[in-house]
Structure 1
Amino acid sequence: MLALEGLKVLDLSRVLAGPWCTQTLADLGADVWKVENPQGGDDTRSWMPPDINGESTYFLCCNRSKRSIAIDLRDPEGQRLVRELARRADVVVENFRKGALDRFGLGYDDLREINPRLIYCSISGYGRSGSRAEEAGYDFAIQAESGLMAITGEVDGEPMKLGVAICDIVSGMNAVQAILAALLAREKTGEGQFIDIALLDSAVNVLANVASGYLATGKPPGRYGNAHASIAPYQVFPASDGSFAVAVGNDLQFRALCAKVINRPELADDPRFATAKTRASRRAELAEILSEIFRTKSKAYWVEALKAAGVPGGQIRTVPEVFAAPEAEERGMFVEVDDARHGKLKLPAPALHLRGTPTRTPTAPPRLGEHTDAILAEVLGLDDEARDRLRMEGTVA
């Protein structure tokens, strides 16, 4: 059994945050109907390179196990079709600009009239309330405005963004949590509800301990590069042939590092470094001592020594090295799916591991409108003649 088997999701979202949410729902067993513009579909279908035989790998990352139906939302008949899908759906996910779907008769107030049990999840840059609700939100701008970039990068360097669209991804994850909570609530109340997920809210929430540190003390945080504001040694160190990461989280681990890894047990008793607080306050001195030691041997030597001593750390892998590592296959971090165009296609796999209700076996992301006929026939009961008429009129594709 799949955890969300039988759940029907009407996916009106595109790009990343919404599709990431609906992909997770699909992983858990939901039937996701991805509604796309017949003229080009989801924006990310054109985001390349990289691509595989002309198909965007960006689109592939967040649309596995869905079904695509191409409907023109500007067409009144297309709007009617989407309302009929919403009548039969459990969940709607959308990330249009504020008011856009209301003009099509597809806003929350419109759809809850025909389906009071509908859970309607709206994802936007700045939320559906507040002075910035009308603005579009993009991950890079949100990383900048949320404070995430201000705390990322080298101490004296420029603020830096993360290498992936973290605000979009975290917002998609928050949307999944909210939808699952709303589904549980619906079991008690019999009614759906409106969910308002904002990229800015999600990004600020990710500040976590940095946010609580500022709010409690009033002291603005800084950047530490690859180091940690509260823990040391917790950073990248140079070896004789490259760099590796050390992540000492407590005094016991520091003692193990000193005694079992670098053979300097006296450092653990040095008053400058004996506690987490003193190590953090003297991190530069400690880093200088450790760097001198670590430069004497290879990164492979130190990584193995850390592992043997039970001290957290690791090599700094490239992406190819990640997927070549044995644990990538052992833990199912990627999957090979059958694909009509490419034969076999490797994709990132779900990170959710449920023993009783495992995730579904992934299927390839759909081509634009690949399942238009199937959804119109199966969900709305339209016969060949009705579907042909809609295609001739340009309502669907």
Structure 2
Amino acid sequence: MGGTGKVPLMRSKRCSDCGEIKPATEFWKNKSSKDGLAYYCKPCFRLRNSRSYRKGQAKLGKVPRPYRSLSDVPEGMKYCPSCRETKPTDAFGSNRAEKSGRAAYCRPCHNKAMAEIRARNHGSERNYLLKLRYGVTEERVKQMIAAQGGICVICLRGEPKHVDHSHLTGLLRGVLCFKCNGGLGQFSDDPRCLGDAADYLEFDGPHAYRMTLELGVPAIDGHAHRRAGVTLSGEKVRLSGSNRQNHLRRRYGIHEADARWLLDLQGGWCAICGDAPAEHVDHDHETGAVRGMACGGCNSGMGQFGDDPLTLRRAADYLLGQLVKEISLPGGVSRLSFTLPDVDPATVPAGGWEPHREADGRHRRKAWKEGDGEGRAWVDLCLEKIFAALAESAGRRRAG
């Protein structure tokens, strides 16, 4: 074997440090040694490296963490170098870049480290999320809130905390309160549905007309109906004693047969949007009057907007781009306007929006409901402009 130049294979070897005889697999390879293996076993080799590393760190005035052997970690566990605790592997997030398939830090430490990095690079966690989701900074959002007079532009009551954007174009529209922002989502950003919901609440829509034809009134007085002892179809009430029957009687003053009658009257569809199955009994929270059956989105959306037709119409105009406008002032500056008649947001004191809100509601109700269908035609025209702008934007993207 003298002319081959190959190192003879060994089954075991004595470690020069610990003096133990161990299998050859417990030694790193070393071509410069006679047997092709390192002089020290792997644990001793790591210990030597650790001493060398800590000696160098001490010269730099640093205090590294105590040495920890890999063999100290049981099967199915992993050591977190941040909190210095050994935890189950499930406590670590996934990371395909790591050999173990798990992140280096446990989830709490990983989240803390990411927050520190974002704060260091972007100023704050909120600033990072605003730039990531909407492409604006926290300072820009503060400027938008100040331009709005520190009020939600839709309801003119809530505190603006949530940045709102178009899910179609990605463009920012304003800063809203929690309820208005959630309400737009429940109505799927549909201005027509918002306008129909306002009519529905004022008993001035097709559903109220059907109810009046069938019952003589646009809504059901739950308390009086409970005392009558008959269903809406005129039959004598038969109590089933089921949980649903008890819930309907206790909360709305109607019976299970009444709910089925309403569903039949509506063809099974929502009384507001007409696009989704009616699943919820809708009622006035103040009077208890049952107005009809609504889908989950419309029922929740009206609740988010406080069952307020004024706010619903303002929300519809907001989506149509007819609520918030920019007015140019002398000196090359501008300000926002979002009420009719126009009022400078900077001149309205805290808690002083209610008179302007009521006056605006009268103007918008007239624009939506009067003029022999001009209000609906105006909505259609606004929507047509929005869709045309979207088509033009898509065409530019394809051309680019």
- For Structure 1 versus Structure 2, the TM-score category normalised by the shorter chain is under 0.3
Q: Which has the larger radius of gyration?
A: 2
TM-score (norm: length of structure 2) = 0.21
Higher RCO (C-alpha under 8 Å, 6+ residues apart): 1
TM-score (normalizing by structure 1) = 0.21
